[in-house]
């Protein structure tokens, strides 16, 4: 899709409506990429080192998130089509590198149709308490999504900052995620993953409350750093727990279910925006905190095996 966009730009025939099918196809590819890349990590490093591998992967992603916009802006000076050609080249290089990676086992097709495999995956997740709990915890992402529209509104209306200030706030969030990822990479084998998840939930919601109440730029920026730190702990602990709990045959299907649940995060953006219009920033953020803690907390309370997971 990046190459197609580049060609359309070079030919000067790109119309706005072209971006709709391109975006739909790109989103479909990411839907395949996310669970596959998580499951692939276990195939490469094994279950014992998965938390360190996931931490390193998250850290590298955060570096790309922080540095990517600057690199993209520099490429745009050469032309929009050049930026997409470079992106297409990077995707092609990544594909070649992944193809050359050796894994620990070879997948064997089950011979069943896709609907049967989906049904078996859902039944397996429901029958396995830890996985069922983790998917419920994942559903609380809809309340985390309510935070996102509040950030630019607070930056503009409360802190009095513009686009640069908003960019700095997002950058601080990325810095927090980067710090969290590399700390977990260093101490990953010594961390109990169940406790890590509880820590992430409590710290994340505490940081959101701090952001909601922060009266100035300093405290708001500090809250963004802490939110990023907690987010990295969340994004590492939940997939790792799912993969170390699921059987080999079900691991891919469980990860697909998780990323389907995680997409409720985007629904939270819509709910958060409507809430800010109706109730204001602070009330909306505290509604999100209450909802997230209720859903995730209830699941954790009734699943002691998850809290004790190593």
List, for residues 2-29, the tens digit of each pLDDT value: 888 888 888 888 887 777 888 788 777 7
In this prediction, residue 45 carries a pLDDT of 67
* Spacing of C-alpha 88 from chain mean position: 23
pLDDT digits (tens, 9 = 90+) for 176-189: 888 887 787 777 66
As a whole number of angstroms, the distance between CA 236 and CA 310 comes to 13
Cα(152)–Cα(132) distance, rounded to whole angstroms? Answer: 34
Write out the residue range of the structural domain in which residue 88 sits.
2-307
Q: Convert the pLDDT of each residue in 234-265 to its tens digit.
A: 888 888 888 888 887 788 788 888 888 888 88
pLDDT at 107 over 80: no
Q: Give CA–CA dist 193/276, Å, rounded.
A: 34
Predicted confidence (pLDDT) per residue in 51-91, tens digit: 667 767 766 776 776 666 667 667 767 787 888 888 888 88
pLDDT band (50, 70, 90) for residue 196:
confident
Contact indicator for 57, 94 with CB cutoff of 8 Å: no
Of 142, 140, 153, 139, nearest in space to 267 by CA: 142
CA separation, residue 254 to residues 151, 221, 233 (Å) = 32, 36, 20
Q: What is the CATH number of the domain that holds 292?
A: 1.20.1250.20
Split into its structural domains, the chain has a count of: 1
Digit-coded pLDDT (tens) for 124-176? 988 999 999 999 998 888 998 998 899 989 988 888 888 778 878 888 888 88
């Amino acid at each position: 899709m990046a190459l197609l966009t580049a060609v359309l730009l070079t030919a000067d025939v790109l119309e706005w409506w072209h971006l709709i099918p391109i975006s739909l196809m790109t989103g479909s590819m990411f839907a395949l990429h996310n669970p596959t890349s998580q499951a692939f990590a276990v195939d490469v490093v094994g279950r014992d080192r998965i938390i360190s591998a996931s931490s390193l992967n998250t850290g590298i992603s955060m570096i790309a998130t922080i540095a990517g916009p600057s690199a993209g802006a520099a490429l745009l000076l050469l032309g929009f089509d050049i930026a997409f050609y470079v992106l297409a080249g990077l995707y092609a290089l990544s594909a070649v590198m992944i193809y050359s990676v050796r894994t620990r086992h070879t997948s064997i097709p089950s011979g069943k149709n896709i609907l049967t495999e989906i049904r078996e995956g859902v039944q397996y997740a429901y029958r396995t308490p830890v996985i069922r709990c983790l998917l419920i915890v994942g559903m609380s992402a809809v309340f985390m999504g309510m935070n996102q529209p509040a950030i630019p509104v607070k930056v503009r209306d409360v802190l009095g900052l513009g686009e640069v200030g908003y960019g700095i706030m997002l950058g601080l969030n990325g810095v927090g995620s980067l710090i969290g990822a590399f700390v977990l990479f260093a101490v990953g084998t010594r961390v109990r993953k169940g406790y890590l998840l509880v820590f992430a939930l409590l710290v994340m919601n505490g940081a959101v409350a701090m952001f909601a109440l922060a009266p100035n730029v300093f405290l708001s920026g500090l809250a963004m750093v802490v939110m990023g730190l907690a987010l990295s702990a969340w994004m590492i602990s939940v997939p790792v727990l799912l993969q170390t709990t699921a059987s080999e045959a079900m691991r891919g299907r469980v990860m697909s279910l998780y990323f389907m649940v995680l997409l409720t995060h985007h629904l939270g953006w819509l709910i958060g925006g409507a809430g800010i219009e109706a109730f204001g920033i602070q009330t909306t953020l505290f509604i999100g905190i209450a909802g997230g803690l209720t859903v995730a907390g209830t699941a954790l309370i009734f699943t002691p095996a998850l809290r004790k997971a190593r």
